[in-house]
Amino acid sequence: MSDGADRRLQNAVTGLAHGDAASFELIVRRYQSMVFSLAYHFSHDRALAEDMAQEVFLHLHRNAASIKSPAHLEFWLRRVTAHRCIDHARRNRIAFASLESEKEPLARPPESDPLLSRKLGQLVATLPARRRMVVLLRFQEELELHEIAEVLEMPINTVKSYLQRSLELLRAKLDRCLGDVRV
């Protein structure tokens, strides 16, 4: 971000704390794609992701005075979005498809094949809510392990364990799906 953009964002955070509508609008425009993307990749439901994003920004509006800086704002938005997603999954007891119920393709698609990306997305969607959020924060949002621990308010060793077990499970399923065929 440029110095001018940094200043505008800092001014928007300050204005947000004082109830300035234009500041809130600037912040929503700046972060709406991040919040929506995280909610969508968690839920795979566009309407639900839009609703969750709206809830997150409504929560921001109600808690605007607690935001201290642009870095805190981004952290806060990720944390609230992650918790909203996990809470929604718990409240609605989303049934996760069994990994064994996934159909397996006959041959390994090329690495750049969108079908492989879609399949991986389907497999990630089968993970339990907290583990899925750890994977999304690590690989979609590119957060470091300590940042994920802060966002999800869990010990870093739990984050490491969730990530390691989730990746092992995903690798095993992908190996079964793709077989030993090498391109």
Tell me the C-alpha distance between 111 and 84, whole Å.
33
Phi then psi for residue 150, to 5 deg, are -70, -45
pLDDT tens digits for range 31-65:
999 999 999 999 989 999 999 999 999 999 999 99
User: In whole angstroms, how far apart are CA 130 and each of 30, 66, 93, 161?
Assistant: 26, 26, 13, 12
The domains found in the chain, sorted by start residue, are: 3-91 (1.10.1740.10), 99-178 (1.10.10.10)
Q: What does the pLDDT read at residue 13?
A: 92
Residue 3 tokens, joined: 């110095």
pLDDT tens digits for range 144-181:
999 999 999 999 999 999 999 999 999 988 888 776 54
Which of 47-61, 63-77, 92-106 is the least confident region?
Answer: 92-106
